[in-house]
Amino acid sequence: MNCRQARNLFSAYWDDEITQGEREWLESHFSSCAACRREYESLARTLEAVSDLPRVEVSSGFAERALAAAKRRSPAVDRMPGTVRRWVPVTATAVLLAIVAATVMQWSGMPLGPRHEGAVATLEQPVLIVPQPVKTEVPSPPKASAASTAPDAAWMAGAEGVSDSLFDHSEDVDFVLDSVTLRKGRAHTVVRLQPEPTRGEQAVITF
Amino acid sequence: MQTPLALDRDPTPVPIVRLSDEDLMGRVAEGDERAFTELVRRFQGRVTNLVSRVLNDREASDDLAQEVFVRVFVHRRNYRRGSKFSTWLFTIAANLAKNEIRRRVRRRNWFSLDALQEVLGDSSSHLADPTEGKEVSMQREQLQKTVGSAIASVPEKYRLALVLRDIEGFPYEEIGEMLNIPGGTVRSRINRARGILKRKLIPLLRKEAEQ
Protein backbone atom coordinates (compact mmCIF):
# COMPACT_ATOMS: atom_id res chain seq x y z
CA MET A 1 0.00 0.00 0.00
CA ASN A 2 1.03 3.56 -0.61
CA CYS A 3 0.10 6.98 0.75
CA ARG A 4 -2.90 7.27 -1.54
CA GLN A 5 -4.36 4.01 -0.30
CA ALA A 6 -3.61 5.07 3.25
CA ARG A 7 -5.54 8.33 2.80
CA ASN A 8 -8.50 6.45 1.43
CA LEU A 9 -8.75 4.75 4.80
CA PHE A 10 -8.68 7.95 6.87
CA SER A 11 -12.45 8.39 7.05
CA ALA A 12 -13.10 4.77 7.96
CA TYR A 13 -10.32 4.94 10.53
CA TRP A 14 -11.95 7.99 12.11
CA ASP A 15 -15.32 6.23 12.13
CA ASP A 16 -13.76 3.08 13.53
CA GLU A 17 -15.14 1.15 10.59
CA ILE A 18 -11.87 -0.45 9.59
CA THR A 19 -10.68 -4.04 9.76
CA GLN A 20 -8.00 -5.05 12.22
CA GLY A 21 -5.57 -5.72 9.37
CA GLU A 22 -6.17 -2.30 7.84
CA ARG A 23 -5.77 -0.65 11.22
CA GLU A 24 -2.43 -2.30 11.89
CA TRP A 25 -1.15 -1.47 8.44
CA LEU A 26 -2.29 2.17 8.65
CA GLU A 27 -0.77 2.72 12.07
CA SER A 28 2.51 1.27 10.94
CA HIS A 29 2.32 3.56 7.91
CA PHE A 30 1.81 6.57 10.17
CA SER A 31 4.96 5.70 12.07
CA SER A 32 6.95 5.81 8.87
CA CYS A 33 5.17 8.57 6.88
CA ALA A 34 5.06 12.03 8.49
CA ALA A 35 3.04 13.53 5.62
CA CYS A 36 0.19 11.04 6.03
CA ARG A 37 0.29 11.45 9.77
CA ARG A 38 -0.02 15.23 9.45
CA GLU A 39 -2.82 14.82 6.92
CA TYR A 40 -4.78 12.57 9.24
CA GLU A 41 -4.24 14.94 12.16
CA SER A 42 -5.68 17.75 10.05
CA LEU A 43 -8.76 15.68 9.28
CA ALA A 44 -9.15 14.70 12.92
CA ARG A 45 -8.84 18.32 14.06
CA THR A 46 -11.45 19.41 11.53
CA LEU A 47 -13.91 16.74 12.57
CA GLU A 48 -13.34 17.50 16.23
CA ALA A 49 -14.17 21.12 15.54
CA VAL A 50 -17.37 20.01 13.81
CA SER A 51 -18.42 17.65 16.59
CA ASP A 52 -17.56 20.32 19.19
CA LEU A 53 -20.16 22.68 17.79
CA PRO A 54 -22.67 23.47 20.51
CA ARG A 55 -26.16 22.06 20.24
CA VAL A 56 -28.71 24.58 19.21
CA GLU A 57 -31.14 25.38 21.99
CA VAL A 58 -34.79 24.93 21.28
CA SER A 59 -37.02 27.86 22.00
CA SER A 60 -39.49 27.47 24.82
CA GLY A 61 -42.95 26.27 23.92
CA PHE A 62 -41.72 24.62 20.76
CA ALA A 63 -43.70 21.40 21.28
CA GLU A 64 -46.93 23.28 21.97
CA ARG A 65 -46.48 25.45 18.91
CA ALA A 66 -45.74 22.41 16.78
CA LEU A 67 -48.90 20.69 18.02
CA ALA A 68 -51.02 23.78 17.37
CA ALA A 69 -49.61 24.12 13.86
CA ALA A 70 -50.10 20.41 13.21
CA LYS A 71 -53.74 20.58 14.31
CA ARG A 72 -54.36 23.56 12.05
CA ARG A 73 -53.05 21.56 9.14
CA SER A 74 -54.57 18.23 10.09
CA PRO A 75 -57.67 18.49 7.85
CA ALA A 76 -55.33 18.18 4.94
CA VAL A 77 -54.34 14.76 6.19
CA ASP A 78 -57.69 13.21 5.64
CA ARG A 79 -57.54 14.01 1.99
CA MET A 80 -54.18 12.35 1.66
CA PRO A 81 -53.64 8.71 0.63
CA GLY A 82 -56.52 6.41 1.24
CA THR A 83 -59.33 8.85 0.57
CA VAL A 84 -60.71 9.98 -2.75
CA ARG A 85 -61.62 13.50 -3.74
CA ARG A 86 -65.23 12.75 -4.54
CA TRP A 87 -66.01 16.01 -6.24
CA VAL A 88 -63.54 15.30 -9.03
CA PRO A 89 -65.41 12.44 -10.78
CA VAL A 90 -68.75 14.15 -10.19
CA THR A 91 -67.58 17.39 -11.74
CA ALA A 92 -65.88 15.58 -14.60
CA THR A 93 -69.06 13.61 -15.38
CA ALA A 94 -71.19 16.75 -15.28
CA VAL A 95 -68.85 18.59 -17.64
CA LEU A 96 -68.74 15.63 -20.00
CA LEU A 97 -72.53 15.37 -20.08
CA ALA A 98 -72.85 19.09 -20.76
CA ILE A 99 -70.43 18.86 -23.67
CA VAL A 100 -72.23 15.84 -25.14
CA ALA A 101 -75.62 17.53 -24.77
CA ALA A 102 -74.40 20.73 -26.37
CA THR A 103 -72.90 18.80 -29.28
CA VAL A 104 -76.06 16.78 -29.86
CA MET A 105 -78.24 19.88 -29.72
CA GLN A 106 -75.96 21.71 -32.13
CA TRP A 107 -75.98 18.93 -34.70
CA SER A 108 -79.70 18.33 -34.42
CA GLY A 109 -80.40 21.97 -35.15
CA MET A 110 -81.94 22.78 -31.82
CA PRO A 111 -81.23 26.26 -30.56
CA LEU A 112 -78.88 26.30 -27.60
CA GLY A 113 -80.57 29.26 -26.08
CA PRO A 114 -83.11 31.96 -26.73
CA ARG A 115 -82.26 34.10 -29.70
CA HIS A 116 -82.43 37.80 -29.14
CA GLU A 117 -82.99 39.52 -32.38
CA GLY A 118 -82.89 42.85 -30.65
CA ALA A 119 -79.49 42.19 -29.26
CA VAL A 120 -78.04 42.08 -32.74
CA ALA A 121 -79.49 45.44 -33.55
CA THR A 122 -77.92 47.05 -30.52
CA LEU A 123 -74.43 46.10 -31.58
CA GLU A 124 -72.12 48.82 -32.67
CA GLN A 125 -72.87 49.44 -36.32
CA PRO A 126 -71.35 46.34 -37.85
CA VAL A 127 -70.11 46.56 -41.39
CA LEU A 128 -72.33 44.42 -43.45
CA ILE A 129 -70.68 42.58 -46.25
CA VAL A 130 -73.38 41.69 -48.68
CA PRO A 131 -72.40 38.67 -50.66
CA GLN A 132 -72.49 39.17 -54.40
CA PRO A 133 -74.81 36.94 -56.30
CA VAL A 134 -72.95 34.05 -57.78
CA LYS A 135 -73.95 32.83 -61.14
CA THR A 136 -73.98 29.16 -60.59
CA GLU A 137 -76.31 26.44 -61.46
CA VAL A 138 -78.50 26.37 -58.49
CA PRO A 139 -80.46 23.19 -58.20
CA SER A 140 -84.11 23.37 -58.54
CA PRO A 141 -85.77 25.31 -55.77
CA PRO A 142 -86.36 23.30 -52.68
CA LYS A 143 -89.57 21.58 -52.57
CA ALA A 144 -91.72 23.72 -50.48
CA SER A 145 -93.34 21.78 -47.80
CA ALA A 146 -96.96 22.00 -47.15
CA ALA A 147 -96.24 24.08 -44.12
CA SER A 148 -94.23 26.72 -45.94
CA THR A 149 -95.60 30.23 -45.84
CA ALA A 150 -95.48 33.25 -48.12
CA PRO A 151 -92.70 35.12 -46.30
CA ASP A 152 -90.56 31.99 -46.55
CA ALA A 153 -91.00 31.88 -50.27
CA ALA A 154 -90.02 35.51 -50.59
CA TRP A 155 -86.98 34.94 -48.50
CA MET A 156 -85.96 31.97 -50.61
CA ALA A 157 -86.14 34.12 -53.71
CA GLY A 158 -83.71 36.61 -52.16
CA ALA A 159 -81.29 33.99 -51.02
CA GLU A 160 -81.40 31.96 -54.14
CA GLY A 161 -78.22 33.34 -55.61
CA VAL A 162 -76.14 32.80 -52.52
CA SER A 163 -73.78 29.92 -52.57
CA ASP A 164 -74.39 28.35 -49.23
CA SER A 165 -72.69 25.03 -49.01
CA LEU A 166 -70.17 22.67 -50.50
CA PHE A 167 -72.80 20.00 -50.52
CA ASP A 168 -76.12 19.94 -52.15
CA HIS A 169 -78.78 19.30 -49.61
CA SER A 170 -81.44 21.10 -51.48
CA GLU A 171 -83.39 17.94 -52.07
CA ASP A 172 -84.08 17.26 -48.48
CA VAL A 173 -83.51 20.37 -46.48
CA ASP A 174 -83.53 24.12 -46.80
CA PHE A 175 -80.41 25.95 -45.83
CA VAL A 176 -80.60 29.32 -44.30
CA LEU A 177 -77.26 31.01 -43.97
CA ASP A 178 -76.79 34.05 -41.89
CA SER A 179 -74.42 36.63 -43.17
CA VAL A 180 -71.31 37.16 -41.17
CA THR A 181 -69.71 40.47 -40.54
CA LEU A 182 -65.97 40.30 -40.90
CA ARG A 183 -63.69 42.62 -39.05
CA LYS A 184 -59.96 42.12 -38.98
CA GLY A 185 -60.29 38.71 -40.45
CA ARG A 186 -62.66 37.00 -38.06
CA ALA A 187 -66.31 36.68 -37.48
CA HIS A 188 -67.48 39.58 -35.42
CA THR A 189 -71.20 39.50 -35.23
CA VAL A 190 -74.18 38.05 -36.94
CA VAL A 191 -76.60 39.98 -39.03
CA ARG A 192 -79.69 38.16 -40.15
CA LEU A 193 -81.08 38.78 -43.53
CA GLN A 194 -84.48 37.38 -42.70
CA PRO A 195 -86.38 36.32 -39.66
CA GLU A 196 -85.52 32.85 -38.71
CA PRO A 197 -87.92 30.37 -40.21
CA THR A 198 -89.44 27.85 -37.94
CA ARG A 199 -90.04 24.81 -40.03
CA GLY A 200 -89.36 21.27 -39.11
CA GLU A 201 -87.54 20.43 -42.32
CA GLN A 202 -85.23 23.39 -42.31
CA ALA A 203 -81.77 23.56 -40.85
CA VAL A 204 -80.23 26.83 -39.82
CA ILE A 205 -76.50 27.10 -39.79
CA THR A 206 -74.99 30.00 -37.99
CA PHE A 207 -71.39 31.01 -37.63
CA MET B 1 -54.83 -15.30 44.53
CA GLN B 2 -55.26 -13.70 41.16
CA THR B 3 -57.80 -14.99 38.73
CA PRO B 4 -56.83 -15.59 35.09
CA LEU B 5 -59.08 -12.67 34.13
CA ALA B 6 -57.12 -10.35 36.38
CA LEU B 7 -53.86 -11.50 34.80
CA ASP B 8 -55.13 -10.61 31.33
CA ARG B 9 -55.73 -7.06 32.32
CA ASP B 10 -53.08 -4.40 32.44
CA PRO B 11 -53.82 -2.60 35.69
CA THR B 12 -50.96 -0.11 35.32
CA PRO B 13 -50.76 1.33 31.81
CA VAL B 14 -47.22 2.26 30.75
CA PRO B 15 -46.59 5.98 31.26
CA ILE B 16 -46.25 7.80 28.00
CA VAL B 17 -42.68 8.84 28.74
CA ARG B 18 -41.65 5.19 28.93
CA LEU B 19 -43.10 4.22 25.58
CA SER B 20 -40.71 3.65 22.69
CA ASP B 21 -40.60 6.14 19.84
CA GLU B 22 -42.29 3.62 17.58
CA ASP B 23 -45.09 2.95 20.06
CA LEU B 24 -45.64 6.66 20.47
CA MET B 25 -45.82 7.09 16.72
CA GLY B 26 -48.34 4.29 16.58
CA ARG B 27 -50.49 6.29 18.97
CA VAL B 28 -49.96 9.47 16.97
CA ALA B 29 -51.25 7.63 13.91
CA GLU B 30 -54.47 7.13 15.84
CA GLY B 31 -54.62 10.84 16.62
CA ASP B 32 -53.13 10.85 20.14
CA GLU B 33 -51.95 14.42 20.69
CA ARG B 34 -50.15 13.64 23.94
CA ALA B 35 -48.06 11.04 22.19
CA PHE B 36 -47.25 13.59 19.48
CA THR B 37 -46.16 16.19 22.03
CA GLU B 38 -43.94 13.62 23.73
CA LEU B 39 -42.29 12.74 20.42
CA VAL B 40 -41.70 16.41 19.69
CA ARG B 41 -40.08 16.87 23.09
CA ARG B 42 -37.81 13.90 22.49
CA PHE B 43 -36.60 14.98 19.08
CA GLN B 44 -36.99 18.76 18.93
CA GLY B 45 -33.36 19.37 19.88
CA ARG B 46 -31.87 17.02 17.33
CA VAL B 47 -34.14 18.15 14.53
CA THR B 48 -33.58 21.84 15.24
CA ASN B 49 -29.84 21.24 15.47
CA LEU B 50 -29.75 19.35 12.19
CA VAL B 51 -31.72 22.02 10.36
CA SER B 52 -29.72 24.81 11.94
CA ARG B 53 -26.37 23.25 10.98
CA VAL B 54 -27.43 22.43 7.47
CA LEU B 55 -28.84 25.90 6.83
CA ASN B 56 -26.47 27.80 9.13
CA ASP B 57 -29.46 29.94 10.01
CA ARG B 58 -30.60 29.86 13.59
CA GLU B 59 -33.56 32.14 12.97
CA ALA B 60 -35.07 30.01 10.25
CA SER B 61 -34.30 26.68 11.89
CA ASP B 62 -37.12 26.95 14.44
CA ASP B 63 -39.74 27.37 11.77
CA LEU B 64 -38.32 24.61 9.62
CA ALA B 65 -37.99 22.23 12.56
CA GLN B 66 -41.59 22.95 13.44
CA GLU B 67 -42.58 22.18 9.88
CA VAL B 68 -40.83 18.81 10.19
CA PHE B 69 -43.09 17.86 13.10
CA VAL B 70 -46.15 19.23 11.37
CA ARG B 71 -45.38 16.93 8.45
CA VAL B 72 -45.02 14.02 10.85
CA PHE B 73 -48.51 14.72 12.16
CA VAL B 74 -50.07 15.43 8.80
CA HIS B 75 -48.61 12.29 7.22
CA ARG B 76 -48.91 10.17 10.34
CA ARG B 77 -50.79 7.46 8.49
CA ASN B 78 -47.89 7.03 6.09
CA TYR B 79 -45.64 5.84 8.90
CA ARG B 80 -44.93 2.13 8.49
CA ARG B 81 -45.36 0.36 11.77
CA GLY B 82 -42.25 -1.50 12.74
CA SER B 83 -39.88 0.85 10.95
CA LYS B 84 -37.55 2.99 13.00
CA PHE B 85 -39.21 6.28 13.84
CA SER B 86 -36.03 8.35 13.95
CA THR B 87 -35.11 7.26 10.41
CA TRP B 88 -38.51 8.35 9.15
CA LEU B 89 -38.38 11.61 11.08
CA PHE B 90 -34.92 12.55 9.84
CA THR B 91 -35.83 11.59 6.29
CA ILE B 92 -38.52 14.26 6.48
CA ALA B 93 -36.09 16.70 8.08
CA ALA B 94 -33.41 16.05 5.46
CA ASN B 95 -35.88 16.52 2.62
CA LEU B 96 -37.21 19.76 4.03
CA ALA B 97 -33.70 21.06 4.66
CA LYS B 98 -32.70 20.12 1.12
CA ASN B 99 -35.72 21.90 -0.32
CA GLU B 100 -34.97 24.97 1.77
CA ILE B 101 -31.36 25.07 0.57
CA ARG B 102 -32.52 24.85 -3.03
CA ARG B 103 -35.14 27.52 -2.50
CA ARG B 104 -32.53 29.83 -1.05
CA VAL B 105 -30.12 29.12 -3.85
CA ARG B 106 -32.85 30.00 -6.31
CA ARG B 107 -33.49 33.24 -4.51
CA ARG B 108 -29.75 33.95 -4.44
CA ASN B 109 -30.17 34.87 -0.85
CA TRP B 110 -27.82 32.38 0.56
CA PHE B 111 -24.34 32.05 1.86
CA SER B 112 -21.79 32.86 -0.81
CA LEU B 113 -18.17 31.90 -1.10
CA ASP B 114 -17.29 35.55 -0.80
CA ALA B 115 -19.09 35.71 2.50
CA LEU B 116 -17.16 32.66 3.66
CA GLN B 117 -13.88 34.26 2.67
CA GLU B 118 -14.93 37.32 4.58
CA VAL B 119 -15.75 35.31 7.68
CA LEU B 120 -12.58 33.28 7.40
CA GLY B 121 -10.55 36.41 6.89
CA ASP B 122 -12.07 38.06 9.91
CA SER B 123 -11.55 35.00 12.04
CA SER B 124 -7.99 34.51 10.93
CA SER B 125 -6.97 38.03 11.61
CA HIS B 126 -8.85 38.03 14.85
CA LEU B 127 -7.45 34.75 16.09
CA ALA B 128 -3.94 35.54 14.90
CA ASP B 129 -3.71 38.59 17.08
CA PRO B 130 -3.99 37.73 20.77
CA THR B 131 -3.03 41.26 21.70
CA GLU B 132 -6.51 42.42 20.75
CA GLY B 133 -7.54 41.45 24.22
CA LYS B 134 -10.46 39.29 23.20
CA GLU B 135 -11.38 36.58 25.59
CA VAL B 136 -10.93 32.91 24.84
CA SER B 137 -14.66 32.30 24.89
CA MET B 138 -15.15 34.92 22.20
CA GLN B 139 -12.44 33.26 20.13
CA ARG B 140 -14.15 29.95 20.51
CA GLU B 141 -17.45 31.48 19.56
CA GLN B 142 -15.89 33.01 16.49
CA LEU B 143 -14.31 29.69 15.58
CA GLN B 144 -17.64 27.94 15.92
CA LYS B 145 -19.24 30.52 13.72
CA THR B 146 -16.57 29.95 11.13
CA VAL B 147 -16.95 26.19 11.31
CA GLY B 148 -20.70 26.59 10.89
CA SER B 149 -20.21 28.80 7.88
CA ALA B 150 -17.71 26.37 6.38
CA ILE B 151 -20.20 23.52 6.76
CA ALA B 152 -22.82 25.64 5.06
CA SER B 153 -20.48 26.18 2.12
CA VAL B 154 -20.16 22.45 1.43
CA PRO B 155 -22.35 21.45 -1.53
CA GLU B 156 -25.80 20.41 -0.43
CA LYS B 157 -25.64 16.71 -1.27
CA TYR B 158 -22.43 16.26 0.71
CA ARG B 159 -23.50 18.59 3.49
CA LEU B 160 -26.58 16.67 4.55
CA ALA B 161 -24.63 13.41 4.80
CA LEU B 162 -21.88 15.18 6.74
CA VAL B 163 -24.23 16.74 9.28
CA LEU B 164 -26.18 13.53 9.75
CA ARG B 165 -22.95 11.64 10.36
CA ASP B 166 -20.55 14.02 12.09
CA ILE B 167 -23.00 16.13 14.05
CA GLU B 168 -25.98 13.86 14.62
CA GLY B 169 -23.93 10.66 14.69
CA PHE B 170 -26.20 8.44 12.61
CA PRO B 171 -24.76 5.19 11.23
CA TYR B 172 -24.05 5.04 7.52
CA GLU B 173 -26.83 2.60 6.78
CA GLU B 174 -29.44 4.79 8.41
CA ILE B 175 -28.18 7.84 6.55
CA GLY B 176 -28.50 5.83 3.35
CA GLU B 177 -32.16 5.17 4.18
CA MET B 178 -32.79 8.80 5.02
CA LEU B 179 -31.24 10.12 1.85
CA ASN B 180 -32.40 7.19 -0.24
CA ILE B 181 -28.92 6.36 -1.48
CA PRO B 182 -26.75 3.22 -1.15
CA GLY B 183 -24.31 2.83 1.73
CA GLY B 184 -21.31 3.15 -0.59
CA THR B 185 -22.60 6.48 -1.86
CA VAL B 186 -23.08 7.68 1.70
CA ARG B 187 -19.45 6.85 2.48
CA SER B 188 -18.12 8.57 -0.60
CA ARG B 189 -20.24 11.68 0.05
CA ILE B 190 -19.07 11.90 3.63
CA ASN B 191 -15.44 11.43 2.59
CA ARG B 192 -15.85 14.14 0.02
CA ALA B 193 -17.50 16.50 2.49
CA ARG B 194 -14.81 15.94 5.08
CA GLY B 195 -12.11 16.65 2.52
CA ILE B 196 -13.79 19.90 1.47
CA LEU B 197 -14.22 20.97 5.06
CA LYS B 198 -10.63 20.14 5.95
CA ARG B 199 -9.31 22.26 3.10
CA LYS B 200 -11.43 25.19 4.23
CA LEU B 201 -10.76 24.97 7.92
CA ILE B 202 -7.28 23.63 8.39
CA PRO B 203 -5.40 26.91 7.87
CA LEU B 204 -7.51 28.46 10.59
CA LEU B 205 -7.25 25.48 12.92
CA ARG B 206 -3.48 25.36 12.53
CA LYS B 207 -3.19 29.01 13.45
CA GLU B 208 -5.37 28.44 16.46
CA ALA B 209 -3.25 25.44 17.51
CA GLU B 210 -0.08 27.48 17.24
CA GLN B 211 -1.34 30.06 19.71
Tens digits of per-residue pLDDT, A54-75?
A: 999 998 999 999 999 999 987 6
CB contact under 8 A, A81 and B166: no
Class of domain B9-110: mainly alpha
Among the partner residues B72, B74, B190, nearest to A76 by beta-carbon distance: B74
Q: How far is CA B52 from the centre of its chain?
A: 7
Q: How many CB atoms lie within 10 A of CB A12?
A: 17
Closest CB to A58: pick one of B45, B72, B165: B45
Q: Summarize pLDDT for B144-192 with one digit per residue, the tens.
A: 999 999 999 999 989 999 999 999 999 999 999 999 999 999 999 999 9
Pinpoint the residues of chain B covered by CATH 1.10.10.10.
111-211
B166: nearest CB among A51, A56, A70: A51
C-beta separation of A6 from A28 below 8 A: no
Whether A70 and B73 lie within 8 Å, measured CB to CB: yes
| pTM, full prediction | 0.60
Q: In this structure, are residues A174 and A199 in contact, taking their beta carbons and an 8 Å threshold? A: yes
Domain with CATH 1.10.1740.10 in chain B: 9-110
* Separation between Cα atoms, residue A190 and residue B52, nearest integer Å: 67
Q: A97-152 pLDDT, tens per residue?
A: 999 888 888 887 766 555 554 444 444 555 556 556 555 444 444 444 444 444 45
Task: Say how far apart CA A99 and CA A122 lie, in whole Å.
Answer: 30
Residues in A 169-188 with any Cβ partner in B closer than 8 A: none
Asked if the Cβ–Cβ distance from A77 to B76 is below 8 Å, we say yes
Q: How far is CA A157 from CA A133, A166, B185, in A?
A: 12, 20, 87
A140 close contact with B: CB closer than 8 A: no
- Tell me the one-letter amino acid at B140: R
Higher per-residue pLDDT: A107 or B65: B65
pLDDT reading at A158 higher than 90: no
Residues B111-211, CATH architecture: Orthogonal Bundle (1.10)
Per CB-CB distance under 8 Å, the chain B contacts of A58 are: 44-45, 48, 62, 65
B65, A63: Cβ pair inside 8 Å? no
Chain B neighbors of A76, CB-CB under 8 A: 74
Give the model confidence (pLDDT) of B71-119 as tens digits.
999 999 999 988 999 999 999 999 999 999 988 887 754 444 444 444 4
* Burial class of A190 by CB neighbour count within 10 A (0 to 12, 13 to 18, 19+): middle
Amino acid at A161: G
- Among B47, B159, B34, CA closest to A50: B159
ipTM score of complex: 0.76
Question: Chain B within 8 Å of A62 (Cβ-Cβ)?
Answer: yes
Which residue in the set A11, A53, A59 is minimally distant from B191, CB to CB?
Answer: A11
